[in-house]
Structure 1
Amino acid sequence: MLLSKFKPQVLKLIELLQRHPRLVALYGFVSGMASFLLVERGARVARVIAILLLVSWIWLMLENLFRRGVERLFGVELPPPLMRFLTQLIHQESLFFVLPFFAITTSWNSGQALFTGLLGVAALCSITDPIYNRHLAPRRWLFLAYHTLTLFAVLLAALPLILQLTTAQSYRWALGTAVALSFVSLSGVLRGQRWWRSLGLVGLTLALGGLGWVTRVWVPPATLWLTEVAVSPQLNNRTPGDGVDSLSANELRTKGLYAYTAINAPRGLNERIYHVWRFNGREVDRIALDIHGGREAGYRAWTHKRNFPSNPVGRWQVQVLTEAGQMIGTLRFTVTPSELPPKPR
């Protein structure tokens, strides 16, 4: 058979991977950084890396079929430890691929830091053999949770690159796919158990999906980030004036205020975002903006607000959100009391 000619190369590749497992982790990190830089420049080559990564996940989902195919084509029986090793390599490559995207898009003073921090811990576990093989892989429930989290993060980063899905669409597809696969995996674990455990499995799966949707504000938009922000009373030729951290109530009422954001997005991506104006933590205005990806300096978008409460003194925020409610960033400023005119003598 023609494919049997590649048997020596396959065996050498497997031996090389077993001897130097850190090379794959290094490759995953380098490919992630390269893809991130390519996306930042708007290059379409980044899609190729994302597609290859998703192909590896298709292999992971069809692991048993793949193992039987290798045995039939090459006459090589892949032992379970080797299959676990290959699974670990895919986890390493996947996590180090997505980490640069989430690291740059995370608002570190928000709950998003928890999600990105969890991905960082997962990446460290994937390259630490004692933790991965002795504490993670043998615990089926924990391993399935780890597997689902990794796939969820990969889909969030890959879908906008490959299919130009919006952040909201990518989130729904990523969450639905991760929940569906977790249901299939858990049903395999509980096969042959009592009926009430199957009912509990359905409830657990629905709860997992609901939790993922409710906590979406804590998940960074993997392919959208701010390249320039400003809060300014002036905007000249689409360029904001000097940014301000605070201004008086009189200045605010006289000139109004611009919230300016330049947002980097992959080429071909059309996205609706929102500038949400908040006063002392309470939402007072929500303005929709449509952005288009591919511009090197980011797509420039701004809102101009002139209608303020009668007493605007306090802390203000302008949150930049996706349609799914994920936070891209936050602009902050303070309004101070107006100075009273001096009393006549």
Structure 2
Amino acid sequence: MLPAAKIRATLAKPFLPVVFFFAGVTYDIVTLTRIDRLLDNLILLLYLALLGVLIVLVGRIGMTRDLEEADSVPNWHLPGALLRARPYYPMAIQFFFGGLFSAYTIFYSRSASLTGTAVFFGLLVALLVANEFLRDRLTNLRLLVSLYALVCFGFFTFFLPVVTRMMNTFVFLLGAVLSGLVTLRLVALVYRGRPRDTRRDVVLTSLPPIVLIVVLVGFYFLNWIPPVPLSMKFGGIYHNVTKVADAYELSFERGRWFQIWKRSDDPFRGEEPAYCFTAVFAPVDLKTTIYHHWQYRPTGARGKRSFVTADRIPISISGGREAGYRAYTVKQRLTPGEWRVDVEAADGRIIGRVNFRVEPTTGEALELKTITY
């Protein structure tokens, strides 16, 4: 067997796509360090550009075949080399979609929490996995344009706050509008030079991605999209928080001998003030306000009563610190029961959550342990 034939036979083996999938995700986890890193964003932008070019080529080649190489259509024919490379376009498109979905899954996972924000993150994970099985469908123009709208939306959602150093509803909606305009321009390039009777095709191709973007904007107002580029690096409840030089000393009740993983108070015992300490990452020069939203559900209210707000305390933060901007809030005399502190962005989306339980004091002196962050 010739070397080329051996290579093709090896690549055709069914286990290799799985190996490549996990290898690619692992590589991205290791190399994609910060969401505000210029090189990472330039690579993603290059992926978007090349993906757009490939989608235009797939669309135009498909329509050229439908028109049977009609000579009457100006500027329609493509160079022979591009036509001969047509069988490889789905593989290249699959590669770029896989790279983008993998990067987004990593970036959004750092901002997602086990709340409503997990919805959009779950969608990204599903698309990352499904991309491995979509190669045979990656010549369907409407599917390609819809997926392209999604990856544009995912990019602008975190890229615009990084470059504008602002994070609010206006910036998010600006990203949604840009995603729609880029997608519509892509469709225009695909159909450029076709007869006027193709307007119906243009509308039918443009409608699904625009509807998708509108649905994703709805996700935003439902707080289902993680508040990228913010992410919670650390959080916990403590009996005392003290700043010493450039570090914070966090004191909590020492656990039993086998609880080597314990790093905060859960449950919280006693009548002393409770400190919620968090570290939230934000890109360099991004200044915004986050909130510690203290909520509780009294003992015996499970299943009968939802959490109610005890306090919502604003904290002004500035980005740049790798381990996150550190801050804490304090609550006095907590009612026994289930408590949680939602760390929220200014628009209400949840960056992270600290769950804990408050139990009555036993009267015994607490043995505290202190860690430094």
Give the alignment's TM-score, normalised by structure 1.
Answer: 0.69
- TM-aligned CA deviation for residue 84 of structure 1: 3.7
Say which of 308, 313, 316 aligns to 1:290.
316
How far apart in 2 are the matches of 1:170 and 1:95? 22
What is the correspondence of 1:207-286 to structure 2 with a 5 Å cutoff?
A: 207-208=214-215, 210-215=217-222, 217-237=223-243, 238-242=248-252, 243-247=264-268, 251=271, 255-280=272-297, 281-286=307-312
Across the aligned residues of Structure 1 and Structure 2, the Cα RMSD in angstroms comes to 4.4
Equivalent position of 1:36 in the other structure: 32
Q: Distance in 1 between matches of 2:40 and 2:76?
A: 25
Q: Normalising by the residue count of structure 2, what TM-score does the alignment of the two structures yield? A: 0.64
Which of 119, 125, 129 aligns to 1:124? It is 129
Q: Deviations over 1:82-108 (max 9, x none)?
A: 44443322212211222222233332x
Q: Determine the structure 1 residue equivalent to 2:147.
A: 146
In the alignment, the residues of structure 2 paired with residue 321 and residue 291 of structure 1 have an alpha-carbon distance, to the nearest angstrom, of: 12
Write the deviation string for residues 137-186 of structure 1: whole angstroms up to 9, x where unpaired.
Answer: 35555444433333322333444555544376664343333344556678
Per-residue CA distance 1:46-69 (angstroms, 9 max, x = gap): 312211321332344455489989
Whole-angstrom distance in 2 between the partners of 1:27 and 1:102: 19
1:152 counterpart letter in structure 2: F
Residue matched to 1:9: none
> Equivalent residues in 2 for 1:21-170 (5 A)?
29=25, 32-37=28-33, 39=34, 46-61=37-52, 64=56, 76-78=81-83, 80-107=86-113, 109-126=114-131, 128=132, 131-134=133-136, 136-137=137-138, 140-166=141-167
Question: Separation in 2 of the partners of 1:124 and 1:271?
Answer: 34
Amino acid at match of 2:151: T
Please state how far the C-alpha of 1:206 moved relative to its aligned partner.
Answer: 7.8
Pairs within 5 Å for 1:10-25: none
Q: C-alpha distance in 1, partners of 2:273/2:125?
A: 42
Question: In 2, Cα distance between the equivalents of 1:27 and 1:35?
Answer: 12
Asked if 2 retains the 8 angstrom alpha-carbon contact of 1:106 and 1:112, the reply is yes
Distance in 1, matches of 2:82 and 2:209, equals: 36
Equivalent position of 2:72 in the other structure: none
5+ long unaligned stretches in structure 1? 1-15, 341-345
Structure 2 unmatched ranges of 5 or more: 1-7, 61-74, 192-196, 253-263, 298-306, 364-373
Whether 2:315 is the aligned partner of 1:324: answer no
C-alpha separation between the residues in 1 aligned to 2:349 and 2:185?
A: 28
Deviation of residue 273 (structure 1)? 1.2
Note the alpha carbon deviations across 1:108-146, whole angstroms, 9 max, x for none: x333334323222212232x2xx3133x43555544443
Aligned residues: 302
Q: Secondary structure at the match of 2:32?
A: helix
> 1:13 corresponds to which residue?
none
Percent identical pairs in the alignment equals 21
Instruction: Report how far residue 291 of structure 1 moved.
Output: 1.6
Other-structure match for 1:336:
359
Pick closer, same or farther for the CA change 1:31–1:171 going to 2, 3 Å. Answer: farther
Q: Deviations over 1:274-330 (max 9, x none)?
A: 11111221223221112222223321111122386xxx2322111011123222111
Distance 1:139 1:240 in 2: 56
CA contact (8 A) 2:295 2:310 kept: yes
CA distance in 1, matches of 2:126, 2:289: 32
Residues of 1 paired with 2:76 and 2:180: CA distance?
28
Kept in 2, the 8 Å contact 1:24–1:92? The answer is: no
Q: Which amino acid aligns with 1:299?
A: Y
Write out aligned runs for 1:306-325 (5 A).
Answer: 306=332, 312-325=335-348
Letter in 1 for 2:45: L
2:266 corresponds to which letter in structure 1? Answer: D
| Contact 1:272-1:323 within 8 A present in 2 as well | yes
Q: Distance in 1 between matches of 2:171 and 2:20?
A: 27
Alpha carbons of 1:24 and 1:90: their partners in 2 closer, same or farther (altered >3 Å)?
Answer: farther
C-alpha deviation, 1:271, in angstroms: 2.8
AA aligned to 2:336 is V
Call closer, same or farther: CA 1:27–1:223 in 2, change over 3 Å: farther
Q: Which residue of 2 aligns with 1:5?
A: none
Summarize the Cα distance change of 1:122–1:115 in structure 2 as closer, same or farther, 3 Å threshold: same
